[in-house]
């Protein structure tokens, strides 16, 4: 499988004025795998529950049903977030940041000349760094769901594409 798709870059246009970064967390389980996981866990829980109920321990069935319900809710949550991504488009005069998480979508525009990339590292080194882009005191956090090394690479690539100082 490909490395994490943290920065699928689109080609620059003819004038070289636009570049895009698509930032996605590494989702290794496709929808078909999610359905198979739900079916397998639900079938095993219900089979065990019915087996115990047939032996006289009928009180197991409600708990098996609750287990199936919880697994179903978790699978639904995973399904809703399967297309989460962030898109950073650096154009000639502006930087556009679009973020999608579940059913929420947001979009922010910043003037390219004033846009800055901030990489805030934790003091103790145990927490991940925070990558932010913005201007005039308004910043948006990017790449929360990718690993630290990819976040550092992305910060450098964004700085290079933006032409921003460190």
The CATH number given to whatever domain includes residue 139 is 2.30.29
* Same domain for 108 and 134: yes
Average pLDDT (119-147) is 85
Given 80, 95, 118, the domain boundary residue is 80
* Same domain for 103 and 58: no
| Confidence at 126, pLDDT banded by 50, 70, 90 | confident
Report the Cα–Cα distance between both ends of the chain, in Å, rounded.
33
* Same domain for 50 and 127: no
Asked if residue 110 lies in contact with residue 135, where contact means CB atoms within 8 angstroms, the answer is: yes
* Same domain for 121 and 99: yes
Nearest Cα neighbor of 61 from 41, 47, 40, 75 is 47
Number of structural domains, the chain? 2
3 part of a folded domain: no
1 part of a folded domain: no
pLDDT digits (tens, 9 = 90+) for 67-120: 999 999 999 999 998 888 999 998 888 899 999 988 899 999 999 888 888 888
The model carries a pTM of 0.70
Containing domain of residue 97, as a range?
A: 8-25+84-162
């Amino acid at each position: 499988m490909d490395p994490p798709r943290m920065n699928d870059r689109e080609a620059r246009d003819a004038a070289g004025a636009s570049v895009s970064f698509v930032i996605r967390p590494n989702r290794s389980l496709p929808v078909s795998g999610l359905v198979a996981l739900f079916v397998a866990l639900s079938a095993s829980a219900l089979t065990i529950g019915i087996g115990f109920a047939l032996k006289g321990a009928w009180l197991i069935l409600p708990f098996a049903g609750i287990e199936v319900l919880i697994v179903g809710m978790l699978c639904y949550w995973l399904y809703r977030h399967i297309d989460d991504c962030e898109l950073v488009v650096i154009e000639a005069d502006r930087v556009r940041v679009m973020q999608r998480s579940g059913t929420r979508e947001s979009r922010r525009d910043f003037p390219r000349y004033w846009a800055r990339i901030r990489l805030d590292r934790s003091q103790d080194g145990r927490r991940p760094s925070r990558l932010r882009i913005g201007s005039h005191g308004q910043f948006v956090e990017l790449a929360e769901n990718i690993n630290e090394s990819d976040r550092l690479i992305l910060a450098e690539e964004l700085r290079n594409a933006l032409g921003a100082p460190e």
